[in-house]
Amino acid sequence: MPKALPVLHLHDSLQREKVVFTPLQSGTASLYVCGMTVYDYCHLGHARAMVTFDTWSRILRYWGLETRYVRNITDVDDKIIHRAAERQEPITALTERFIVAMHEDEAALGCLPPDLEPRATQHIPGMQALIATLIDKGHAYVAENGDVYYAVRSFPGYGKLSGRSLDELQVGARIEPDERKRDPLDFALWKAAKPGEPAWASPWGEGRPGWHIECSAMSTEALGCAFDIHGGGLDLQFPHHENEIAQSQGAGCAFAHYWLHNGHIRVRDEKMSKSLGNFVTVRDLIPIYGGEALRFFILSSHYRSPLQYSDDALAAAQNSLVRLYTTLRGLPPHELVPELGADWEARFVAALADDANTPGALAVLFELAREINRLREQGSELASPLGTLLRHLGGILGLLQQDPERFFQGEDEDADWIEAKLAERQTARVQRNFAHADAIRADLEAAGIVIEDSASGSTWRRR
């Protein structure tokens, strides 16, 4: 870490500008992120949120802040109920399966687990207590059928996060036939029980929480009535995060000090989403490109910008990683020499200090890789310690932590066969049977194996 870190800036969605990050409590940082609704496999849009806020938590920790990162799981919701009914399986079986799958995807993307991962079904009492407070304060009311609604017009600041006025929101708003709310803008805090749906006892009758109340309750239970950063995808800014503010501040909590939102993954200029059917799952892409390449692809664009998905873009990310791991290949571990890499690290950190400018940070990594390659060609002993610096800086972004040979070879089911062929080829070369050695090389190349010869021996990787 540089002796003097620059001031950390972030773009606060509420203030609509880049501001200096000042923790509410010196030396600490608290981060709450809206997590997955677990009724299906994670797609690349979910991966972007995972990687974005994993990176933010890494940055906060690099800045020396004792960081508490909380990301919830929504395990009761209309979509979950409908999917379980379609598949004729218990809701808990459905959600447990997709929670396991989500954790597998998270690990493949190089994301560290959050410090706390509360589930909605484990926090029903806290949600009910929050709803009761809102009723007492005149911000919520109980409908005839046992539903409880938030009265949007009771909260003067409604719309401040998304920049929408009540008049704008009123246009097109309507009340569904089965709803008992007083105003089309009001939203459900508690939903009265319906046949076949999960339900909990409450002062207003059997029912279940609305989606928005979940995060208000879980975030404040985990981090307190005021915390530093609330994050999530841009699509959550309205109405979900807007409603969270109304609920939490309506109940008397200061709530989040800063708001961060990551941009959408786009497919042919449309947002990637399950509702549009234009999504691709993380687990479908990992066998083709590898989880680290997906992470690199996400970090190659600023987190607030839209990111266009394509096979070519993912292949380019994979090739970029190949270049960096090729630089690290064959460099022995070396003790980090801060003075040697001070300028590289300062420029890398300056990029991160500018609202987590990961494309700028990656550019520094490639400049450093070019310098390492130049020094290695000259036979300089400085190549190895700078290689250690490259790995160190990459680690701040969750990259370049694999052994280079493992990266190139992966979990190849043909590894034993390939190694045997390489040994056979080496024997043929020693015996000066170059025709046989060339034939082995041709066989391997036909199988998609690239052989790289050097003074220290031969290595291989998949093309």
Binding site members for Zn(2+): 34, 215, 240, 244
**SS3 call for 345:** helix
Note whether 122 and 95 are within 8 A (CB). no
Binding-site entries: 34, 215, 240, 244, 274
User: What are the C-alpha distances in Å from 361 to residues 255, 310, 400, 438?
Assistant: 31, 23, 14, 42
Angle 383-396/44-62 helices, nearest 10 degrees? Answer: 120
- Which is it for strands 28-33 and 66-71: parallel, antiparallel or unpaired? parallel
User: What are the C-alpha distances in Å from 58 to residues 106, 108, 286, 399?
Assistant: 15, 17, 23, 12
Angle 291-299/282-289 helices, nearest 10 degrees? Answer: 100
Binding-site entries for ATP: 274
**SS3 call for 138:** coil
Give one DSSP letter per residue of 228-258, joined into a string. Answer: EEEEEEGGGIIIIIHHHHHHHHHTT--EEEE
What does the radius of gyration of the chain's CA atoms come to, in whole angstroms?
26
Note whether 102 and 91 are within 8 A (CB). no
- Which of the 8 DSSP states describes residue 333? P
